[in-house]
Amino acid sequence: MNRPAHAPAPLPEPTIHLSEGLHCLHQYYTIDAQAMRSLSAADRIVGKDELCDILSPSYHGAPERLQVCAVSGDRADLGIMMLDKDPLRLDALTQDIRASRLGTALKRAYSFVSITEISEYVPTVEQYAEKLRLHGAKADDPAYLAKVKAYEQRLPMMNQQRLYPEMPAWPVLCFYPMNKIRDPHANWYQLPFSERSNLMAEHATSGIKFAGRVSQLITAATGLDDWEWGVTLWGRSPEYIKEIVYTMRFDNASARYAEFGPFYMGYIMSPEEACKHLRIG
């Protein structure tokens, strides 16, 4: 007797929203001094108020999360990081800036499109427990059971922060894109998963040492932008940014397999503070 073929599973409805997590956009602008000078004094004043309104949390189209920074160096002047469920809400804010009175004087210098994710290298509770046993822990040891229980309790909170990150109210914001290289002598994508996982565990251990001084968010950009990941670092002080990047470059995951893009170093301000600092208005 012939068995009926199983009907294919229904396809999900088309959507621009993610099944979990948020869209992320880093946007950097330079100020065109000549274009700014060509505006009337009244247009500059009104334009400054308009820009501050667009970048305000109370703006009618404000994304769920947004931070503004004044950027150090000549790569950019103004930096904006934003996250939202709807990618068009992020783009709409940039279009509102372009269409504003200061739009001709604010030139987009760089942007990076990515999404939040839970990395495949974040161990499950079972994988964490197995790793402890491989390092000599006994399954009936109270210390082993306590470590597994503690990890089980904090894992949901860690994954929530990865997918729906809260932006710390710290003064320093650093962003850079990165890849894992495909050099014939050091091809990350030809390593077995177990080896990649161990390398990333070493990398994570280096980063944990900076808890309370640096907060890190890794967003995924494969297929969305020219680089595979974006790294956002918030710091209590600029020196901590330098220290964590320097320290982690000695890990094999970075020293042998990482490629870094341009760094954008900024100092977080309110829109009004940023406009004042950048002599807008």
Which pLDDT tens digits describe the chain residue by residue (281 residues)? 565 667 788 888 999 999 999 999 999 999 999 999 999 999 999 999 999 999 999 999 899 999 999 999 999 999 999 999 999 999 999 999 999 999 999 999 999 999 999 999 998 898 888 888 888 888 888 898 898 999 899 999 999 999 999 999 999 999 999 999 999 889 999 999 999 999 998 999 899 999 999 999 999 999 999 999 999 999 999 999 999 999 999 999 999 999 999 999 999 999 999 999 999 98
- Cβ contacts of 74 within 8 Å, gap of 6 or more: none
Complete DSSP assignment for 115-151: EE---TTS--HHHHHHHHHHTT--TT-HHHHHHHHHH
pLDDT of the residue at 3: 59
Whether 86 and 23 have beta carbons less than 8 Å apart is answered as yes
pLDDT of the residue at 4: 61
pLDDT of the residue at 249: 93
Could you tell me the pTM of the whole model?
0.90
- What span, in angstroms and rounded, lies between the C-alpha atoms of 65 and 175? 16
Question: How many helices (H) does the chain have, and how many strands (E)?
Answer: 9, 11
User: CA 266 → CA 69, 79, 169, 230, distances in Å?
Assistant: 5, 7, 13, 15
Q: Which residues are catalytic?
A: 176
pLDDT of the residue at 2: 61
- CATH assignment of 167-267? 3.30.70.1030
In the 3-class helix/strand/coil scheme, how is 191-221 assigned residue by residue? CCHHHHHHHHHHHHHHHHCCCCCEEEEEEEC
The answer regarding whether domain 23-116+269-277 maps to CATH 3.40.50.300 reads no
pLDDT of the residue at 10: 87
pLDDT of the residue at 141: 84
- What span, in angstroms and rounded, lies between the C-alpha atoms of 23 and 94? 14
**Residue ranges matching CATH 3.30.70.1030 in the chain:** 23-116+269-277, 167-267
Strands (E), the chain: 23-31, 65-71, 78-84, 106-116, 172-180, 182-183, 186-187, 214-220, 229-235, 258-260, 264-269
